[in-house]
Amino acid sequence: MTRKTMVPALLLTAALLIAASIAWGADSSKSSFLSGVHKKNNVTCADCHGKSLAVDDSETALNKNCRGCHGGFEELAAKTKEHINPHKSHLGDTNCTACHKGHVASKAYCNYCHSFAMKIPAMGTEQESSDKKWVQESAPGKKELKSTRVESADVVVIGAGGSGYVASITAHDAGAKVILLEKMPITGGNSMLAAGGINAARTRYQERLGMHDDPAEMVKETMKGGRDKNDPELVKVLAYKSADAVDFLVSLGADMTDLVRSGGVAVDRTHRPVGGAAVGPHLIKVYRDNAAKRNIDVRVNSEVVQILSDGKGRVTGVQVKGKHSGVYTINAKAVIDTAGGFAANNELVGFYKPQFKETASSNQPGATGEGMFLAEKIGAKLIDMEQIQIHPTMGGDTKVLVSETVRGSGAILVNHAGKRFVNELTTRDKASAAILAQPEKSAFLVLGEGIRKSNVQIDGYIALGLVQEADSVAGLAAKMGVPADVLTATVVAYNKAFEAKKDPEFQRQDIPRPVDGPKYYAIWVKPGRHHTMGGVKINTEAQVIGKDGKPIAGFYAAGEVTGGVHGWNRLGGNAITDTVVFGRIAGSNAASFIKNEK
């Protein structure tokens, strides 16, 4: 038997063994799972896998077959009677196989971030820990992997979060053949979880509401928020291209009409969908639809294990480990690294900031930082790696981020004595420090009916069981375990500040709504890891800068994988701006680099 015929023969044998174990009802973990609903309906291997039994890394045909039998997300969501409806979540319409498995027990992807004991078919109830260390294929000491095939593209983009999608769409529209790679089973990255909005100065939406804003102010506030450690040139690009970024999103079909204020900012600059809906799921749906419309080659379960260069400093492609297809090479004329940050990587966070190691992370489980080290391995400079942002308000002991926009909509922060203790709209580093300075290292967000109605995300927190409610402030105080007279006095004083448009106690600039009835609400909150400000050094053209201070030819980066834009503390709402502004620059420059090289 030659090597050429050996591989198909082995595959065929494996397929026959699987088929046989199903037919004979053998008591292996594979067959016992398949003996469930699939056995009952006489499902064959070919029903799921197709005649060839081959599975591509994105599991496309397999998922089509899942839907063929079980129905699509909408159908399944309509049938769900449980309180939490996994088929109707912020993850959007993803692969069925992200949660459901064919040959091993299914597992809910949601449980990486949430703690739901969800029942899904053939799933054990045990919780998967999201803190398990991501095995980095390119870690030092790991043996070099051998590619079994070679493909080619004009531009390869690493990481299908917000920056990755924006860079891919932009490069595609500039004429490049793009492959977008995502190591996780679903696309979206941390952008998918973004609750707040996109900061942009002097937009048509601000002007429509008669609001005056100025990119120069955005520069000043971003620098101040970043403790002046940001790269001022990058910040200028961020601010002066921010209104264009919003127009770009609208041109793709996004809704950015609602405005709210974020911490450390003196105007309503954070743009989001109408009703205060979370920005991330909305944008990722828009991006997914736009990528599909353009036929962009998006591959999940595809981990980049190496960025390739010609030895003379020019990037030439990537090596990928596909979940099913194995290791292969993509030769590319340009590579864009949009692989995100590492706030979900306990080991790495502990390495750079030992005191943050045990804090909960708001991030998706794939935010483990490999994109930074893949870049460093081919000479990129990493900066500000120890700058890790702690977001003030994660829901109690959960991994659910309670959006800053809840405070922006008017909620107050109250300690366990029932008193306000900080300007709720100060920067995140200061608000987190103020909460951690409380003896309990936690606090409550307190809000009324008007605030709840202005921000649809609060209904989500109610559905998740994070919110206590009562018909009076005293009733709420009893549920929170704080003195009723003190909390009542706190709310009365705050409502007076709302009337007077002046907050003598904490100089909060913007009080859009009072804390009023008929219902009052409280959410117990604790600070948690949210954003890693450091990463790959880039210049204003989104070119990756090497340790020698020079751009690495053919190599671009955007979003949380980069450092310098946010300095030592990011302002809420500036991350999405970063992904769109620098994603566009990276996509467009990668495409013109290729054209100019021809």
| Strand order across the beta sheet in which 382-383 lies | 382-383, 535-537, 562-563
CB of 389: closest distance to ligand MEZ in angstroms? 8
Contact between 327 and ligand MEZ per CB under 6 A: no
Comparing C-alpha atoms, which of 473, 418, 463, 457 is closest to residue 440? 418
Among 341, 222, 235, residue whose Cα is nearest residue 564: 235
570 included as an active-site residue: no
Of 301-309, 334-342, 403-411, 441-449, the segment contacting ligand MEZ by CB under 6 A is: 403-411
Q: How far is residue 100 CA from its own chain's centroid?
A: 22
Closest residue (Cβ) to ligand MEZ? Answer: 196
Q: Binding to ligand MEZ by residue 435, rule CB under 6 A?
A: no
Q: What is the DSSP letter of 142?
A: P
Half-sphere exposure of 452 (CA within 13 A, CB side): 21
- Between 304 and 575, name the residue whose CB sits nearer to ligand MEZ: 575
Least separation in angstroms between CB 401 and ligand MEZ: 6
Q: Which of 572, 585, 586, 587 lies at the binding interface for ligand MEZ (CB under 6 A)?
A: 572
341 binds ligand MEZ per the rule CB under 6 A: no
Closest distance of CB 80 from ligand MEZ, Å: 27
Residues 232-251 as b/e (b if ≥16 CB within 10 A, e otherwise) read: eebbbbbbbbbbebbebbbe
Binding mask 522-561 for ligand MEZ (x = CB under 6 A): ----------------------------------------
**Smallest distance from ligand MEZ to CB 18, Å:** 45
Q: What are the CA-CA distances from residue 215 to residues 166, 270, 522 (Å)?
A: 22, 13, 36
Is 351 in a helix, a strand, or coil?
helix
* H/E run at residue 412: strand 412-414
* Residue nearer to ligand MEZ on the CB measure, 158 or 343: 343
Ordered alpha helix ranges (H), 25-136:
29-34, 37-40, 45-49, 60-70, 73-79
Name which of 330 and 533 has its Cβ closer to ligand MEZ. 533
* Residue 425 binds to ligand MEZ (criterion: CB under 6 A): no
Please tell me the chain's helix, strand, coil percentages from 3-state DSSP, rounded to the nearest 5.
40, 20, 40
Q: Which parts of 231-270 interact with ligand MEZ (CB under 6 A)?
A: 262
Asked whether position 403 contacts ligand MEZ by CB under 6 A, the answer is: yes
Output the smallest distance, CB 509 to ligand MEZ, in A.
17
Q: Is 137 in the site for ligand MEZ (CB under 6 A)?
A: no
**Which of helix, strand or coil describes residue 260?**
strand
Of positions 575, 590, 591, 594, contacts ligand MEZ by CB under 6 A? 575
User: 300: which DSSP letter?
Assistant: S
- Residue 404 binds to ligand MEZ (criterion: CB under 6 A): yes
Q: Toward ligand MEZ, which CB reaches closer, 102 or 572?
A: 572
Whether 426 contacts 408, CB under 8 Å: no
Instruction: Assess 573 for contact with ligand MEZ (CB under 6 A).
Output: yes
Residue 278 beta carbon to ligand MEZ: minimum distance, rounded to whole angstroms: 8
Nearer to ligand MEZ among residue 544 and residue 561 (C-beta): 561
Site for ligand MEZ in 190-209 (CB under 6 A): 195-196
Q: Which helix (H) or strand (E) holds 178?
A: strand 178-181
424 binds ligand MEZ (CB under 6 A): no
Kindly state whether residue 189 participates in binding ligand MEZ, applying the rule CB under 6 A.
no
Q: Of the residues 428, 452, 513, 529, which is catalytic?
A: 428
Closer by beta carbon to ligand MEZ, 279 or else 339: 279
* 222 touching ligand MEZ, by CB under 6 A: no
Give the whole-angstrom CA distance, residue 139 versus residue 162: 26
Residue with the two structure tokens 């015929």: 5
Q: Which stretch binds ligand MEZ (CB under 6 A): 34-42, 134-142, 555-563, 569-577?
A: 569-577
CB within 8 Å of 153: residues ≥ 6 apart:
177, 178, 179, 297, 330, 331, 332, 333
Size of the site for ligand MEZ (CB under 6 A): 10
CB 292, min distance to ligand MEZ, A: 27
Please select the residue that binds ligand MEZ; options are 364, 398, 405, 454, rule is CB under 6 A. 405
Helices H / strands E in the chain, number of each: 21, 19
Least distance from C-beta 196 to ligand MEZ, angstroms?
2
With CB under 6 A as the contact rule, which of the stretches 221-229, 288-296, 505-513, 568-576 interacts with ligand MEZ? 568-576
Q: Are 344 and 364 in contact (CB under 8 A)?
A: yes
SS (H, E, C) 209-232: CCCCCCHHHHHHHHHHHCCCCCCH
Contact 398, 405 (CB under 8 A): no
The minimum distance between CB 9 and ligand MEZ, in angstroms, equals 52
- Residue 95 binds ligand MEZ, judged by CB under 6 A: no
DSSP 469-535: EESSHHHHHHHHTS-HHHHHHHHHHHHHHHHHT--TTT--S---S---SS-EEEEEEEEEEEEE--E
Smallest gap from Cβ 404 to ligand MEZ, in A, equals 3
588 binds ligand MEZ (CB under 6 A): no
Nearest Cα neighbor of 580 from 566, 559, 557, 561 is: 559
Site string for ligand MEZ, 11-40 (x = CB under 6 A): ------------------------------
Q: Tell me how many degrees the CA angle 195-197-201 measures, rounded to the nearest 5.
A: 165
Q: Which stretch binds ligand MEZ (CB under 6 A): 91-99, 323-331, 400-408, 431-439?
A: 400-408
**Interface with ligand MEZ includes 577 (CB under 6 A)?**
no
* Residue 8: Cβ-neighbour burial (10 angstroms; 0-12, 13-18, 19+): exposed
Minimum distance from residue 272 beta carbon to ligand MEZ (Å): 9
Binding region for ligand MEZ (CB under 6 A) out of 289-297, 399-407, 501-509, 512-520: 399-407
Please give the single-letter amino acid code of residue 369: G
Which has the closest alpha carbon to 188: 526, 492, 591, 559?
Answer: 559
Enzyme catalytic residues = 428
Which parts of this chain interact with ligand MEZ (CB under 6 A)?
Answer: 195-196, 262, 401, 403-405, 572-573, 575
